[in-house]
């Protein structure tokens, strides 16, 4: 945004506490340590990587500029990329919204509990995230031989005639991946909601009782949600990034590469090219496309969320 533009905005909003240059100096001083490190280790690498998207770069030789060829190959030639996009959209469309709503719902329900047991309840619900690479548990559950829990129980109860290859048969793969992702979706957003719920001032709830808020649902809608707006924004961005970045789960469960690429996502496709085939340029092009999709998706959701409670 240009400075002139910004001046005009300033006059309109009148949100300013101070106008003199000394305030700005303090602001920049507070921002400086973060800004320097952030620019060096986040902004510059992203820009460099976007540049790699226009090159052929095999990590050993210097990058060679090839224009749009990576992008043309990606869209017109690469069939597997299409599968990856389809899977990623499917995962994002299901686990994104459900995971997000579940994270808020459970945070809110736990907040209804008495204080003494809340910390333990949070720990239990956060367990799938805190215990690191827990997807491994699911490989035991859905293991293809009769040692797997799902097969053992199914066969013993007579539900299955013979053990099923849960994680190698393309028919079941995506369903299982989605279940596991949903199970692990109470992560960053969930904890930030817990923290946010604890900072809503009590006097607002008290005022609510006086004004005739009758039950917990009315309280949720009229007091809690409007107060949580900025946390909900944060949670939404985190949900989008985790949903579109799905890779660890599919690699741990279905193998890498998975049978017929049936569980391939955009990010596993990118890892394949970046870390196995050393085509860093192509991998960077994939990353850039994914980034643009996430950016647009985020814009849309921010717009929807800003209408909440108005």
Partner 1 sequence: MKKIKAGRQPNRSLAGDIGVGIVLVLFGCFFAFPLVYVINSAFKPLDELFVFPPRLFVRNPTTKNISDMFLLMNKQGVITFTRYAFNSLLITVVGTAGHILIASMAAYVLAKYRFPGSLTFFKMVTVALMFTGYVLAIPNYLIMARLGWVNTYLALIIPAFASPMGLFLMKQFMESSIPDVLVEAAKIDGAREGRIFFTIVMPLVKPAILTLMIFSIQGLWNNVGTTYIYSEELKTLPFALRTLAAGGVARTGVSSASTLFMMILPVVCFILAQSNIVETMASSGIKE
Residues 83-112 close enough to bind partner 1 by CB under 8 A: 106, 109-110, 112
What backbone phi and psi angles, to 5 degrees, belong to 64?
-120, 130
C-alpha 158/C-alpha 160 separation (Å) is 5
* 294 is an interface residue for partner 1 by CB under 8 A: yes
Distances from the Cα of 27 to the Cα of 10, 32, 299, angstroms:
16, 9, 27
Query: What is the DSSP-derived secondary structure letter of residue 62?
Result: P
By CB under 8 A, name the one of 11, 15, 62, 162 that touches partner 1.
15
CB of 191 to partner 1, least distance (A): 5
CB of 14 to partner 1, least distance (A): 11
How many CB atoms are closer than 10 A to CB 291?
14
* 44 is an interface residue for partner 1 by CB under 8 A: yes
Contacts with partner 1 in 132-171 (CB under 8 A)? 132, 134, 137, 140, 146-149, 152-153, 156
* Residue number, 130 or 260, with CB nearest to partner 1: 130
Six token digits for residue 117: 């047991």
Contacts with partner 1 in 235-274 (CB under 8 A)? 237-238, 240-241, 244-245, 267, 270-271, 274
* 225 is an interface residue for partner 1 by CB under 8 A: no
CB of 160 to partner 1, least distance (A): 14
DSSP for 204-223 reads HHHHHHHTT--SHHHHIIII
Contact criterion met (CB below 8 Å) for 173 and 246: no
CB of 62 to partner 1, least distance (A): 12
x-or-dash pattern for partner 1, window 56-85, by CB under 8 A?
Answer: ---x--------------------------
C-alpha 178/C-alpha 94 separation (Å) is 8
CA end-to-end span of the chain: 28
- The site that binds partner 1 (CB under 8 A) totals a number of residues, namely 112
């Amino acid at each position: 945004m240009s400075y002139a533009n910004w001046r005009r905005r300033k006059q309109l909003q009148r949100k300013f506490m101070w106008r003199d240059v000394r305030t700005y100096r303090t602001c920049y001083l507070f921002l400086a340590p973060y800004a320097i490190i952030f620019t060096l280790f986040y902004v510059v690498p992203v820009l460099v990587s976007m540049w790699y998207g226009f090159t052929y770069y095999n990590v050993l030789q210097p990058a060679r500029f090839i224009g749009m060829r990576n992008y043309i190959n990606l869209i017109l030639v690469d069939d597997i990329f299409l599968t990856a996009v389809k899977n990623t959209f499917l995962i994002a469309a299901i686990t994104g919204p459900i995971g997000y709503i579940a994270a808020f719902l459970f945070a809110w329900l736990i907040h209804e509990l008495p204080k003494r047991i809340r910390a333990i309840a949070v720990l239990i619900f956060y367990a799938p995230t805190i215990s690191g690479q827990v997807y491994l548990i699911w490989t035991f559950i859905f293991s293809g031989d009769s040692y797997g829990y799902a097969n053992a129980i199914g066969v013993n109860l007579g539900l299955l005639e013979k053990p099923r290859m849960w994680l190698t048969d393309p028919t079941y793969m995506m369903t299982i991946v989605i279940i596991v992702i949903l199970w692990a979706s109470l992560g960053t957003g969930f904890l930030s909601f817990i923290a946010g719920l604890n900072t809503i001032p009590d006097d607002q709830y008290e005022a609510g009782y006086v004004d005739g808020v009758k039950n917990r649902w009315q309280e949720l809608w009229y007091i809690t949600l409007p107060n949580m707006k900025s946390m909900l924004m944060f949670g939404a961005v985190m949900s989008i990034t985790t949903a579109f970045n799905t890779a660890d789960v599919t690699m741990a469960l279905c193998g890498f590469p998975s049978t017929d690429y049936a569980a391939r996502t955009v990010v596993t496709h990118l890892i394949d090219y970046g870390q196995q085939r050393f085509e860093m340029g192509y991998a960077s092009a994939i990353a850039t496309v994914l980034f643009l999709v996430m950016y647009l998706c985020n814009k849309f959701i921010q717009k929807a969320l800003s209408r909440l409670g108005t």
